[in-house]
Amino acid sequence: MIVERLDLIAFGRFTNCSLNLSAGPCKFHIVYGPNESGKSTSLRALSDLLFGFRGNAVDDYIHKASALRVGGRIVEPESNTTLECIRRKGNKDTLLATDNTTKVSSAELDKMLQGVSRDSFEQQFGISHQQLVEGGMLILEGKGDLSEILFSAGAGLGKLQNIRQELANQSKSIYTDRKSSSPTLYQLLDDWENLKNRLREHSLLPATYNAVRSDLERANAKATSCTTDLSNARRKKEKLEAIKQAISLFLERHWLAKKLEPLSGVVTLAPGFTEKRWNLQSALTAAEQQVKSLESRCREIDQQIATLIIDEVLLANEAAIERLGRNISQHEQSSVTVSEKQSKLMQLRDRIDELGRSLGTMGKAQWSQCEQLSAVARTELVALSKQHSGVMQRVRDTDEKLQAAKATSRKLKSELKNALRPGSPSILDDAIRTVGQPQTMLLAKKKAEAHVVAARETANAKLHQLAGFEGTLEQAVAMVLPPRSTLATSATAIESVQQDVKSIDSKIKTATFEYEQLRAKVLNDSSQLSLPDQSRFDQLIAERNQNLDDLIDASSDERVFPIKRAIELRDQALELDRAHRVRHEYHDQVLRVERDERELVSLCEQLAKRSEDRAAAVVDLKNHIDHWKQLWQTIGVSAGDVDEMRSWCIIQQELVVSACELNELCIELQFATDAIEQAVATLQTALRVSVAKTVFRPMEIAQTKSSTLFDDFEDEDAPEIADEQWVIDPQDFASLYMHATQKNRELSARCQDYEALMNRSELGSNQLDSCQAAAQAANDHLKAWEERWNAAIEPIKSLGLITPESIDVLLNCVEEIVRLRRETIESENELSVLLAAREKYGDAVLSIAMKCLPQRAESLDRGDEISLIACLLTEGKKQRENQKKRTLLVDQLSQARTSANEFAVQCNRVKADLMLLCKEAKCQEFEELAECEKLSEQRRGLEEKSGGIEGSLMVLAKGQAIEAFEAEAMDYQSHSVDDEIESVSREIESLEIEQADAQQSVGRLGSEIKKMDGSDRAAEILQQQQSLLVQIRREAERYAELTIAQDVLARSIENYRRQNEGTVLAKAGKYFAQMTCDQYDGLQVEFDAGDKPRLFAIASKDKSLVPADRLSDGTADALYLAMRIASLDVHLQKNHPIPLVIDDCLIQFDDQRAVASMQILSQLSLRTQVIMFTHHQHIVDLAELKLMRDAFHLHRLART
């Protein structure tokens, strides 16, 4: 895939900018831009084009996020596919066609990207300065561990160790063997234990429940028993207390029976008898008083009625009088209105007379003419009078302009008549424009010639580089190489066998080294020890025993310990021990030598096997190499080794490309030459036509136009132009071009002057026509006005001379008189109506007054109706009040008489009731009733007391027969009852305490049972446990994933090394040698004691191996870059190319290494596109100075 063009349509600081990356065949593009020039923006744009905008775009500070656009042209050379598209910011359908609207499927682009993600692209196909530094550090810090270096370089990683560390940290944050660091899982497990404890606390075990239940049943039984006993005791106590009370009551009962005996004949009156008697007597007295009072009142009312007199006639007309009274104010208002109307009528008549006088001679007949003039006609007259002055002014103005235009037109016609017409410059102008700048064409031709020479040199140089080929350039270009797949298979086979041989050599070397070491060790171990023999042992034991005996003998005296002898004995023992040790060591040595010798034999066998393998591999290698050479021989090439022939192929391809380029450049040169020839011919022809002079008299133009356009004549300034072919000399071509340009300028100036005069003349004629038309229009307007005026004044023509100035005054005066006359007629009508109404009202008043108050009516004058009606109203009111009073008195009299009769009836009824009471009390008169009541009351009191005692006894007996109860009570003595009560009370108190205890137990146990109500607390905790288990499980899973990830990483690193070690290292070695300017020959792998492969650089000077971690910082950086490029190179062998993007990674290198690196990149760019961004001018300078012209393409971004 190649990005041929990057369009920064609306991205960052860019608007509609393009980066053309299509040049080839070396596709190495250096994009230079100082700080703030948009270098990083371009880098981001490239990623965004291929993979879409990131979510957190940073390039939307000028263009809105929704308007961000980056586009480009992407080509897949393998399939010859091209995709031109625009990427917008968004989540879906972000790929658009070049119209910025049509959605484009991303399938094509995805196919080109071959599954490479943004991360992979930026990582694997991007190299930055920081990566390079970190990669160098990785080599130095990683002790040259080949596996890590290979993996990091291949993946574009800086610090692989950081990944390992991060995995370890994450797993430790979840779980470690040590609890002290309190990772997450320990916290969760603590929570788990807490929940388990809570569950135990809230669980209700069956045994607990059953125990509480039994206790409750027992407590219930106890409480029930206490309640029964207590109830019995209380009943007994109540009985005793009743007997105690009943004894005194029975005594009182006997006493009352004796008191009632004398009153047995007295009538027992009902309880309300006395009150009833009092009420009847009071009612009788009150009724008698009322009868007297009412009779007196009847008499008074009769007298009042007799004094009242009423006028019936007045009352009969009362309604009519009131109606007239209501109209008094209206009548008074009417009188005032009549006066005002009369006054106004007088004023109107005076004004009409005054206006008539102002018109002077105008009589009534003329007024009627004016009145008949319609409103439309009057409006027309007014409008016409206003237009009059404007119409006259317009006629005067147009007349003046017409005179002036005539004078100007005459003058310009005269000037044009004397002027000459020049020839047209357009032919020459077109020719000059078509030809263009001669310097550009000449420069292009010169450049094309230079390019042809350079391309030819390049192609020849490439041809010389084709070692083993003796043909010409054309033969080299036309050469058909063996099939690529055949070559690749053969090369892979050779490399594979070579790798095998190398690997076997390495193993032989290691095994030999081990063998030598082991052999040396065996020899060393086999060296004879001075082994003590058996006699020496016997001797040492005898000496020791002797010394021991001596010591025992010597120590018989306990006071003196033989120190010296003891020391000797110790030394002997040590000597004996040493002898033993030597024997043991010898034994071990023998065993070790035996084991090592076995291993030596094994190593020998291995070495023999390896040698056999190597021999077989060498034979295999020779066969493959022969096949390889044969392949090349068929096309006449004497082949080198695989790498040489790969380079050979690249050179051959480059040669083909160079040849094609040479061919294209030759064609370009021919084009440039042809273009110049064509330009000279064009200029010659144009000059020949244009240098001729032509004179035109303006008046003759129209006559000559149809016949001929030119009349040639010689120009004094024109150069002589030969008829023969123009010689293509740069100087002549330039002179010819300059002469044509000068001539063209002169002709243009003349034409412009003449055309200006023509234009002015034409303008003058046009203005004259316009003035004439305006004058005619003004006159026509005046004429039309006059016709309309005459028509308008036709109706009033008889009034005499009527001018537009006098018509306004006349029309206003006539209009005012007409209006005043209309108002006069209306006022007269209104006045007559008012007078008739006033007269009708007076007649009505007089008629009623004659009926009701004839004397008063006769004495009054006509017109005094208001005072008459007031008198009638006053009199009517007085009669109405008298009538109301009499009605009221009649009603009162009737009521008083009725009441008096009712009270008389009541008196009789009360007296009858009193007689009934006498009968009840068995007496004759009302006065005896009080004594009867007194006796009756006495008897009732005694009976009630006796009844009360009886009731109390019945209550105390509680259903027992009174007589039986009396007999039982009388058996007790009062003091013995008290004693018994006290005894029972004590029993009750005791029982109450027992019962309270039992009930408390019941309550407590009941409460406990109630708490065991089947609540869901435990179940809830169980649910919480489930939630916690999920968390624990999740953390454990995460820990497992991290643990496995660490293992997978280690395996992946090793796996990658195994797969790519040979191919990548071979290439990296070459690149490294090139980058270090042959300071090092290449790279080599050695295995350390732990069988780990370590990387070494081979120093050119003495072929010594320098461990990778001992290289200088800069060289380590170069090594990392070499490994990166080699990884990409290997990748390219198996995959389609993806552009490599380099971000200023050469700034650490010195000039020589930077140039070497760029040369490598340039070579690489023959197979894949390489885009290097830099903001260092010296890198650009180095490229321009040291690299071939076609080896790179420079693009400069301007600073904002």
- Segment 122 to 181, residues that bind another protein, using CB under 8 A: 122-124, 130-131, 150-152, 154-160, 162-163, 166-167, 175, 177
Residue identified by tokens 């008096």 is: 900
Q: In the structure encoding, which two tokens stand for residue 626, read together?
A: 């022969």
In this chain, which of 873, 904, 1036, 1180 binds another protein, going by CB under 8 A? 1036
Q: Which of 1024, 1079 has the CB closer to another protein?
A: 1024
Other beta carbons within 10 angstroms of residue 76's beta carbon come to: 19
- 3-class DSSP assignment, residue 28: strand
Distance CA(1061)–CA(153), nearest Å, equals 12
Q: Which of 91, 706 has the CB closer to another protein?
A: 91
* H or E element that contains 1009: helix 974-1011
* Least distance between another protein and beta carbon 165 (Å): 10
- List beta partners, residue 81: 76
Residue 699 in the binding site for another protein (CB under 8 A): no
DSSP symbol at 103: B
Distance CA(1141)–CA(125), nearest Å, equals 6
Distance CA(124)–CA(128), nearest Å, equals 11
Candidates 328, 326, 341, 324; CA nearest to 835 is: 341
Residue 516 in the binding site for another protein (CB under 8 A): no
Residue 1012 in the binding site for another protein (CB under 8 A): yes
Site for another protein in 636-665 (CB under 8 A): none
Q: Which of 215, 322 has the CB closer to another protein?
A: 215
Distance CA(315)–CA(184), nearest Å, equals 118
Residue 1069 in the binding site for another protein (CB under 8 A): no
Site for another protein in 826-855 (CB under 8 A): none
Q: Among the candidate windows 549-557, 889-897, 982-990, 1014-1022, which touches another protein by CB under 8 A? A: 1014-1022
Q: Which residues does 880 contact at the CB level (< 8 Å), separation at least 6?
A: 315, 318
Residue 57 in the binding site for another protein (CB under 8 A): no
Tell me the DSSP string of 528-564: PP----HHHHHHHHHHHHHHHHHHHHHTTSTTS--HH
Q: Which of 509, 1033 has the CB closer to another protein?
A: 1033
Residue 524 in the binding site for another protein (CB under 8 A): no
Distance CA(504)–CA(21), nearest Å, equals 47
* Least distance between another protein and beta carbon 161 (Å): 10
Residue 1030 in the binding site for another protein (CB under 8 A): yes
DSSP symbol at 421: P
Residue 1091 in the binding site for another protein (CB under 8 A): no
Residue 79 in the binding site for another protein (CB under 8 A): no
Q: Which of 622, 1033 has the CB closer to another protein?
A: 1033
* Least distance between another protein and beta carbon 76 (Å): 16
The identity of residue 233, as a single letter, is A
Residue 56 in the binding site for another protein (CB under 8 A): no
Q: Which of 491, 896 has the CB closer to another protein?
A: 491
Q: Among the candidate windows 265-273, 373-381, 1009-1017, 1187-1195, which touches another protein by CB under 8 A? A: 1009-1017
Q: In the structure encoding, which two tokens stand for residue 1006, read together?
A: 């009941």
Which strand ranges, in their side-by-side order, compose the sheet holding 126-128? Answer: 126-128, 1140-1143, 1170-1174, 28-32, 1193-1196
* Least distance between another protein and beta carbon 1015 (Å): 5
Site for another protein in 1047-1066 (CB under 8 A): 1047-1049, 1051-1053, 1055-1056, 1059-1060
Distance CA(620)–CA(637), nearest Å, equals 23
In this chain, which of 1022, 1085, 1099, 1191 binds another protein, going by CB under 8 A? 1022
Could you tell me if 944 and 325 are in contact, meaning their C-beta atoms sit under 8 angstroms apart?
no
Total of chain residues touching another protein, rule CB under 8 A: 81
Site for another protein in 1135-1194 (CB under 8 A): 1135
Residue 345 in the binding site for another protein (CB under 8 A): no
Q: Is 207 exposed, middle or buried (0-12, 13-18, 19+ CB in 10 A)?
A: exposed
* Least distance between another protein and beta carbon 1143 (Å): 13
In this chain, which of 252, 1041, 1081, 1086 binds another protein, going by CB under 8 A? 1041
Q: In the structure encoding, which two tokens stand for residue 413, read together?
A: 């016609």
Burial 15-48 (b: 16+ CB within 10 A, else e): eebebebeebebbbbbbbbeeebbbbbbbbbbbb
Candidates 339, 315, 332, 311; CA nearest to 865 is: 332
Q: Which of 774, 1022 has the CB closer to another protein?
A: 1022
Could you tell me if 675 and 440 are in contact, meaning their C-beta atoms sit under 8 angstroms apart?
no
Site for another protein in 193-252 (CB under 8 A): 203-206, 208-210
Site for another protein in 865-894 (CB under 8 A): none
Q: Which of 1133, 1148 has the CB closer to another protein?
A: 1133
* Least distance between another protein and beta carbon 184 (Å): 12
Q: Which of 175, 469 has the CB closer to another protein?
A: 175
* Least distance between another protein and beta carbon 93 (Å): 9
Q: In the structure encoding, which two tokens stand for residue 431, read together?
A: 């020719």
Site for another protein in 1106-1145 (CB under 8 A): 1127, 1131, 1134-1135
* Least distance between another protein and beta carbon 213 (Å): 9
Residue 540 in the binding site for another protein (CB under 8 A): no
Distance CA(824)–CA(345), nearest Å, equals 6
Strand-pair category, 1193-1196 with 2-11: unpaired
In this chain, which of 1019, 1147, 1185, 1194 binds another protein, going by CB under 8 A? 1019
* Least distance between another protein and beta carbon 979 (Å): 52
Residue identified by tokens 């995959």 is: 1135
Q: How far is CA 739 from the centre of its chain?
A: 70
- 3-class DSSP assignment, residue 728: coil
Distance CA(620)–CA(625), nearest Å, equals 9
Q: In the structure encoding, which two tokens stand for residue 843, read together?
A: 């007649």
Q: Among the candidate windows 245-253, 467-475, 521-529, 1013-1021, which touches another protein by CB under 8 A? A: 1013-1021
Distance CA(156)–CA(15), nearest Å, equals 33
* Least distance between another protein and beta carbon 56 (Å): 13
* Least distance between another protein and beta carbon 1021 (Å): 9
Distance CA(134)–CA(136), nearest Å, equals 5
* Least distance between another protein and beta carbon 1161 (Å): 20
* Least distance between another protein and beta carbon 503 (Å): 19
* Least distance between another protein and beta carbon 1013 (Å): 6
Residue 1014 in the binding site for another protein (CB under 8 A): yes
Could you tell me if 428 and 692 are in contact, meaning their C-beta atoms sit under 8 angstroms apart?
no
* H or E element that contains 76: strand 69-76
Q: Which of 169, 439 has the CB closer to another protein?
A: 169
Q: Among the candidate windows 264-272, 794-802, 1040-1048, 1110-1118, which touches another protein by CB under 8 A? A: 1040-1048
In this chain, which of 284, 1042, 1068, 1166 binds another protein, going by CB under 8 A? 1042
Candidates 1124, 1108, 1199; CA nearest to 1157 is: 1124
Residue 489 in the binding site for another protein (CB under 8 A): no
* Least distance between another protein and beta carbon 430 (Å): 57
Say if residue 25 is preceded by a cis peptide, omega within 30 of 0. Answer: yes
* Least distance between another protein and beta carbon 186 (Å): 9
* Least distance between another protein and beta carbon 48 (Å): 15
Q: What x-and-dash track marks residues 445-484 binding another protein by CB under 8 A?
A: ----------------------------------------
Could you tell me if 439 and 735 are in contact, meaning their C-beta atoms sit under 8 angstroms apart?
no
- List beta partners, residue 1196: 32
